[in-house]
Structure 1
Amino acid sequence: MIIGYARVSTADQNLDAQITALTEAGAERIFADKISGAKRSRPELDRLLDQLRPDDVVLVTKYDRLARSLVDLLDIVAQIETVQAGFRSLAEDIDTTTPAGRLIFHVFASIAQFERERIRERTMEGLKAARAKGRVGGRPPALSADQKAEVLRLKSEGRAMKDIANLFKVSLATVKRV
């Protein structure tokens, strides 16, 4: 079965052109969302993925209707492939139901993986350089060393941890960690 998926970002946008294109391309059933592509959980997409069977084909007019980024697209297509279904995009001429289409798709996947790894390398290099300059990442401590010592002293005197947390204007969890 060819299953279409259409999406627009806002409720006031129109799905008609996508639905017409999907129908003309042979979609027997169409799921449609009116929700931002930035949201990973989309009700109709989730229903579509739950109902997929082997040999079904998910059809979209453009891949950006299915996913906001290539990484997101790869994740969704991987879900589609786990049930032995295929994916087709009309605009980009991607079709994972053919050997050539799978090749093209996997070339895209390899490029995306390479780019993710390069971003990670650059991030790690930047963090290393910052540490070498004495910068430490992360959230600053809620309590200074002197304040921590005072928390311990108050606790040893029998003060309730909740009262100590209120006194220092920090969470109870922060006091418990001390």
Structure 2
Amino acid sequence: MLIGYVRSAEAAAPDAAAEVDVLVAAGCEKIIQETTSGGRWDHPQFSRMTEELRPEDVVVVSRLDCVAVALVDLIYTIDKIAKRGASFRSISEGIDISGKMGKQVMQIIQAFAGFERAQLKLRMTKGQKDARARGAGGGRSPKLSPAQQKEIVDMLAAGRSGADLARLFRVHRATISRLASKAHSADIAKKANVR
């Protein structure tokens, strides 16, 4: 069975209606419409459709951007369909993964995705190295300033509870526990150096 898939931000969008027309003209017997943005990671209609796919089914889209915003997403999507024994076809790009040619097309797409991942990793590594050279440590900035941290340690020493301080400073109780543990370790190291 040919199953058409359309994804748009709004169900009544003019481009969604045009895509449905293209899929009907391509012979799709069933059309699944998703009304979520492409940037979201969860697409419930698509997930439901892939769970119900049978080996003789073919998922048809009018354009690749209906199922993926990046090459890595496309690989994941096609792989999910292929694992159900079904095929995938994109009308605009002329991609059809059924048969031997489809497997070769899939290998080419996977090669490009691997290249894209390698380039992304290279750019991230270079960006982190450049940031460290500029003095930026990277990572998330601390929720509490050094003065707040010292105040919390002093208040703990004075007998205030961790839960009370977590509410007061609007942090998770684990943050207070880590500060207490760090202060305790520093205190032990200080006493060890005095002797």
Pick the TM interval, shorter chain.
Answer: 0.7 to 0.9
Amino acid at match of 1:141: P
Aligned counterpart, 1:108 = 109
Q: How does 1:121-132 map to 2 (within 5 A)?
A: 121-132=122-133
Shift of 1:159: 1.4
Query: Scaled by the length of structure 2, what TM-score is found?
Result: 0.79
Q: Deviations over 1:125-162 (max 9, x none)?
A: 22123223432012222334554344333223321223
How far apart in 2 are the matches of 1:40 and 1:148?
37
| Structure 1 residues 45 and 165: alpha-carbon distance in aligned structure 2, compared to 1, 3 A threshold | closer
How far apart in 1 are the matches of 2:24 and 2:107?
27
Could you list the structure 1 runs, at least 4 aligned residues long, displaced by more than 4 angstroms after superposition: 144-147
Q: Deviations over 1:53-102 (max 9, x none)?
A: 12311111111122222221111111001111110111111010022232
Aligned counterpart, 1:4 = 4
Three-state SS of the structure 2 residue aligned to 1:47 is helix
CA contact (8 A) 2:11 2:33 kept: no
Amino acid at match of 1:106: Q
Aligned counterpart, 1:40 = 41
Aligned counterpart, 1:162 = 163
Amino acid at match of 1:90: I
CA contact (8 A) 1:80 1:86 kept: yes
Q: Which moved more, 1:46-55 or 1:130-139?
A: 130-139
Three-state SS of the structure 1 residue aligned to 2:144 is coil
How far apart in 2 are the matches of 1:124 and 1:31?
40
Shift of 1:166: 4.9
Aligned counterpart, 2:54 = 53
Q: Which has the larger radius of gyration?
A: 2
| Structure 1 residues 62 and 145: alpha-carbon distance in aligned structure 2, compared to 1, 3 A threshold | closer
Q: How many residues align?
A: 177
Amino acid at match of 1:38: G
Q: How does 1:114-153 map to 2 (within 5 A)?
A: 114-145=115-146, 147-153=148-154
How far apart in 2 are the matches of 1:19 and 1:51?
20
Shift of 1:23: 2.3
| Structure 1 residues 36 and 141: alpha-carbon distance in aligned structure 2, compared to 1, 3 A threshold | closer
Q: Which moved more, 1:54-63 or 1:13-22?
A: 13-22
Greater helix proportion: 2
Amino acid at match of 2:40: K
Shift of 1:174: 2.0
* Identity value in percent: 37
